[in-house]
Amino acid sequence: MAGNMWTKTEDKIVKKLYPTTSATEIAEKMGRSILAVYQRARILGLKKSAEYLSTEASGRYQRGQKPSHTVFKKGRTPWNQGMKGLQIGGKETQFKKGHLPHNTKENFVISIRKDRRGVPYKFIRVALAQWMPLQRYNWEQVHGKIPPKMKLIFKDRDTLNCAVDNLELVSCGQLMKRNSVHNYPVEVACTIQLRGALNRQIRKHIKKFKDEE
């Protein structure tokens, strides 16, 4: 995996372990080379803790060895000086400018997300890092922008059915009444809706009668 790019999860692991754990142990756990671990730690600005360095140096001296080569002494030239963009396994471990992670989604990909109530909704990617509700996208493709203070609702109340013919534009007041009606038992809700439809027809005929006068 030495030539592979580092993921955010791997970076978190390195940040957590590197200050107090040897690069050898980290490399074995992550399936990467020791050199790759050192290089990534340098890129992330990580350093060994004072306690680790003290323990490591003490242990090596007791075994008649020199202190860890990873500790740079004053005036000593670092092993990686002048090696900006060090390549491991033929590929650079750093992201190039403009490079996108391998899991970046394409435009017009559909994703399902849940709101705070746990209700699922579909979202569509329209540009890099720009997502919008699919029902709104579909509606605007046919009818244009949604006017201020107007709400888009699902006729069948299925939030995953984003077909244009299942969508309806209502005012905030209408939406409030609609939600209130559905809090009643089915029989009562139907009666209220029928009364509303009847009242609308009465007002329509009254207006027509006045216009004719």
Q: pLDDT per residue over 129-149, tens digit each?
A: 889 999 999 999 999 999 988
The predicted pLDDT at position 50 comes to 83
Beta-sheet pairing, 167-171 with 150-154 = antiparallel
Window from 26-30, 54-58, 89-93, 101-105 with minimum mean pLDDT: 89-93
The predicted pLDDT at position 207 comes to 81
For all residues of the chain together, what is the average pLDDT?
77
The mean pLDDT of 181-192, rounded to a whole number, is 62
Q: 0.75 cut: is pTM over it?
A: no
* Structural domain boundaries in the chain: 8-73+84-92, 104-175, 183-213
Q: What is the DSSP letter of 5?
A: P
The mean pLDDT of 160-177, rounded to a whole number, is 87
The predicted pLDDT at position 131 comes to 92
Write the DSSP assignment of 51-110 as a string of letters. Answer: HHHHHHHHHHHHTT-PPPTTSPPTTPPPTTTT-TT-EETTEESSPPTT---TTPPPTT-E
